């Protein structure tokens, strides 16, 4: 039998790591200090770090116009490689080709990298938003960010000089693709499913993860530690929730946890595809796509993100989708179930809207253990207790309302 | 996107159906009546029917010596096609090549088919048993049947004239591969997992089936309606158990039921492979392999049947294994789980030995609903109530003991 070999990175035989280290980094950093500064948003900074650690293999920098247009329109780079979402850098003026610039984080003022400009171009933002988000409505938090971009996009290969605060602030969670790959190799895993998380992990997420464990060698619980929309639960709280869940309810040998530095774009289906692309770079063979993956509000149908995977051309993407239906506890089934496995009525199922959960957690109401493990609820209660009243208002669990609380339903 | 197409039959572009119908059958039946009779065992009769309906595609009849030896030793027919278990016909004397014979069921005396003998040969039964069953001990019910074979094997292409009592006695359950394929096609299913059943369906089987539903388009609950070892639960009772389970706990749209006419061989790993081969012929892309698949007593390690799939050569078998670990209810998990997903202690898990279950069912003891659905238990209680005392002794649930009953454990 052939020796176990991990899945190749996307569109490349090896990870394209653009992060410099040691002396090479020192020299480039010194050089950067003398270059004109471009200030990046958190989304651009997150993208740059992903370029640095090889999470965006095979990209070598921010996209030029041909790539941008191909990606928006056909999900295809100009070299034919599949890519679902533009990775671009904006600036308020045109720069000449050949210009060298220093890339600075607008959040921390740290020098993050350098770029050799190959192209400055203007884009039709409506065109991008329509293709990528399916909407141009500025209430959409992803559209908002695109519309707020400056007038020019700068393209070119990058050298990355820092991973910002992520390695320190999310120590033990933040991970490079080379690190997760090493762990998978050491474990001898061949089939690995990735679970995308940006919300606290309740029993429905646990169920997704456990189905994946049943049918794969292991699960990669891969959490977003970049920026969400205002009011979402912060990453450190979410990390604690996952930790306690893994500690108490998983075979730890079957779970690897990791965090990645991107901002949410809330691009729904397109972002689901991007999630699979970079999970492949992290070494995963499967990407779990559940209900309303990477969605927000009611912009996407609950299973649009599954549908889009079915419509890719052959060979577009090696990492396969593991589609799972809408999951919940069913009192008649006497267990976790999904719309695919449970035949019972709505009244037999436990649904909790974000509003009801928020209210219960912040006002001390009961939340059934069939919705969320008591250990997880305790952490969330503590977090809500520490919030000021005006901070509580914005907190939302999901874009789609999931029905009313049924906290008094007994088994 | 390419139109949905079912998996091809094993080693062939189309089903090899050797069953004659209509006028062609009438003529061959008339001819058969004048031919020398070969009386078949139930195992041979079941094999012949499978040959007839295309379940054993690409075989064209009972195997000759080269195929027999290749299958025993290397799981390979002489033409290189993968095949894991001999399909042979025994007789008490040698017949000349070219002889035409009439194949008769020893159970019903019905004429089942005809064969044109191409070869008569003797076999080393120990060699067959060692390779296929891993043992020559005659307590093994599969070994017993091989050892009871007559001195000669007859090989040759067959024409099949009857499906015996299966279509009538198991109306609505017994199915030809062309029928299940038609159903799958009409449903537009692409990925279909087969669940092999020869025991009543308890919650652990339900859990296997539901995992498969979560990750595939649907499940084919494919039940053996041929002969088991003495004391096992008869097929009609098992059919009733499955019916009530599907009726009450499954989305019926995701389930297709079928029955097949083979005897159990109890060949463990080798039989697991045969199960996958003929499930592919029935249109399935995946074969669920759980704990002690097709095992008996302690002849096989609990996951030997999963191991053997990993060791096949590339391209041997298109139908893939869906391996699932030992499953049970865990009180701490608060749900069904497996050794892969549950981190808790033995005491937290609900195990019931065959002996304990039998005792509880026949003497009216309690069986937890977490082990088996009340609707299923009611059917089994009724069956046990109708048995004479001496019939109860032999009834066994599983080969491997699974620990003691824990009927008083509360959630």
Residue A399 has a pLDDT of 37
**B318: distance to nearest CA of chain A, Å?**
17
Rounded to whole angstroms, the Cα distance separating B341 from A254 reads: 8
For residue B264, which phi and psi values (nearest 5 degrees)? -70, 140
DSSP state of A281: H
Q: Specify the CATH number for the domain of residue B143.
A: 3.10.400.10
Kindly state whether residues B185 and B296 are assigned to the same domain: yes
Last residue of a domain, one of A146, A164, A182: A164
Q: Cα–Cα distance between B325 and B291 in angstroms, integer? A: 6
| B367 and B243 part of one domain | yes
Domain endpoint, select from B164, B197, B220: B164
A112 and A133, same domain (yes or no): yes
Instruction: Please tell me the predicted confidence (pLDDT) of residue B387.
Output: 86
Q: How far is CA A178 from the centre of its chain?
A: 18
| Position B403 pLDDT exceeds 60 | no
Question: Which ranges in A124-176 belong to alpha helices (H)?
Answer: 125-133, 141-147, 166-169
Chain A residue numbers with beta carbons less than 8 Å from the beta carbon of B343 are 248-252
pLDDT over 60 (residue B394): no
Range of the domain at A58: 22-164
- Give every residue of chain A whose pLDDT is below 50, as ranges: 1-3, 394-411
Lowest mean pLDDT among A294-303, A356-365, B52-61, B283-292: A356-365
- Supply the CATH number for residue A315's domain: 3.40.50.620
Give the model confidence (pLDDT) of A174-192 as tens digits: 999 999 999 999 999 999 9
Predicted pLDDT of residue B49: 98
Cβ neighbours of B342 in A, within 8 Å: 251
Is residue B347 over pLDDT 60? yes
Which of A261, A203, A207 is CA-nearest to residue A235?
Answer: A261
Closest chain B C-alpha to A317 CA, distance in angstroms: 15
In terms of domains, do B193 and B157 share one?
no
Same domain, B214 and B284: yes
Do the chains contact at A335 and B333, CB–CB below 8 Å?
no
Instruction: Give the model's pLDDT for residue B407.
Output: 36
Verify that A218 and A287 share a domain, yes or no.
yes
Asked whether residue A60 is domain-assigned, the answer is: yes
Chain B residues in contact with A336 (beta carbon < 8 A): 335
Tell me how far apart the alpha carbons of residues A51 and A88 are, in angstroms, rounded to a whole number. 11
Q: For residue range B325-342, what is the model confidence (pLDDT) as tens digits?
A: 999 999 999 999 999 999
Which residue intervals of A11-59 are DSSP H helices?
22-33, 42-53
Close Cβ partners of A58 (under 8 Å, ≥ 6 residues apart) = A9, A10, A11, A12, A16, A81
Residues B74, B220: one domain? no
Strand order in the sheet with A327-330: A335-338, A327-330, A349-350
**Structure token digits, residue B55:** 């379940």
A104: in domain: yes
Residue count of chain A, please give it.
Answer: 411
Q: Shortest CB distance from B336 goes to which of A251, A335, A370?
A: A335
B253 touches chain A (CB under 8 A): no
Could you tell me if A286 and A339 lie in one domain?
A: yes
At residue A390, the pLDDT reads 65
Same domain as A114, residue A176: no
> From the candidates B214, B246, B322, B332, which should be mutated to test the interface with A, based on the most A CB atoms within 10 A?
B214
Residues B207 and B143 in one domain: no
Number of domains chain B is built from: 2
Interface test with A, best of B193, B249, B374 (most A CBs within 10 A): B249
The complex's ipTM works out to 0.89
**A322 in any annotated domain:** yes
Residue range B111-124: average pLDDT?
98
- For A358, the token pair is 């928020």
Of B284, B171, B268, B158, the residue nearest B221 (C-alpha): B284
Q: Which residues of A359-374 are buried (b: 16+ CB within 10 A; e: fewer)?
A: ebbbeeeebbebbbbe
Task: Return the residue of B nearest to A210 by Cα.
Answer: B341
For A60, B8, B40, B43, the CA distances from B176, given in Å and listed in that order, are 55, 15, 21, 18
Query: CA nearest A326 in B: which residue?
Result: B214
Has residue B1 got a pLDDT over 70? no
Residue B310 and residue A214: Cβ atoms within 8 Å?
Answer: no
Domain membership of residue A217 (yes or no) is: yes
Least confident residue range of A38-52, A304-318, B180-194, B230-244:
B230-244
A325 and B215 in contact by Cβ < 8 A?
no
B340 and A370 in contact by Cβ < 8 A?
Answer: no
């Amino acid at each position: 039998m052939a020796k176990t070999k991990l899945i190749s990175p996307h569109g490349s035989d090896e990870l394209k790591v653009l992060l410099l280290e040691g002396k090479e980094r020192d020299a480039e950093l010194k050089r950067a200090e003398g270059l004109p500064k471009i200030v990046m948003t958190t989304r651009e900074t997150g993208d740059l770090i992903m370029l640095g650690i090889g999470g965006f293999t095979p990209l070598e920098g921010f996209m030029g116009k041909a790539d941008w247009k191909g990606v928006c329109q056909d999900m295809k780079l100009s070299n034919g490689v599949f890519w679902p979402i533009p990775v671009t850098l904006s600036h308020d003026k045109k720069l000449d080709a050949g210009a060298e610039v220093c890339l600075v984080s607008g959040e921390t003022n740290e020098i993050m990298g350098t770029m050799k400009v190959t192209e400055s171009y203007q884009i039709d933002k409506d065109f991008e938003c329509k293709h990528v988000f399916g909407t141009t409505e500025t209430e959409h938090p992803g559209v908002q960010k695109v519309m707020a971009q400056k007038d020019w996009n700068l393209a070119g290969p990058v050298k990355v000089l820092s991973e910002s605060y992520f390695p320190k602030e999310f120590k033990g969670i933040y991970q490079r693709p080379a690190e997760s790959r090493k762990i998978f190799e050491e474990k001898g895993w061949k089939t690995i499913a990735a679970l995308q998380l940006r919300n606290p992990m309740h029993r429905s997420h646990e169920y997704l993860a456990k189905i994946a464990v049943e049918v794969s060698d292991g699960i990669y619980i891969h959490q977003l530690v970049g920026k969400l929309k205002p009011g979402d639960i912060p990453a450190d709280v979410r990390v604690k929730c996952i930790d306690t869940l893994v500690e108490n309810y998983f075979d730890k040998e079957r779970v690897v946890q990791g965090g990645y530095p991107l901002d949410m774009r809330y691009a729904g289906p397109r972002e689901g595809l991007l999630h699979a692309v970079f999970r492949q770079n992290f070494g995963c063979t499967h990407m779990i796509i559940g209900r309303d993956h990477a969605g927000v509000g009611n912009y996407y149908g609950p299973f649009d993100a599954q549908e889009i995977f079915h419509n890719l051309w052959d060979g577009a993407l090696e990492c396969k989708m593991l589609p799972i239906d809408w999951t919940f506890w069913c009192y008649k089934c006497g267990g976790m179930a999904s719309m695919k496995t449970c035949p019972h009525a709505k009244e037999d199922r436990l649904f909790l809207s974000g509003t009801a959960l928020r209210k219960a957690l912040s006002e001390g109401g009961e939340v059934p253990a069939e919705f969320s493990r008591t250990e997880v609820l305790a952490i969330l209660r503590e977090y809500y207790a520490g919030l000021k009243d005006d901070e509580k208002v914005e907190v939302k669990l999901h874009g789609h309302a999931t029905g009313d609380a049924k906290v008094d339903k007994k088994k």
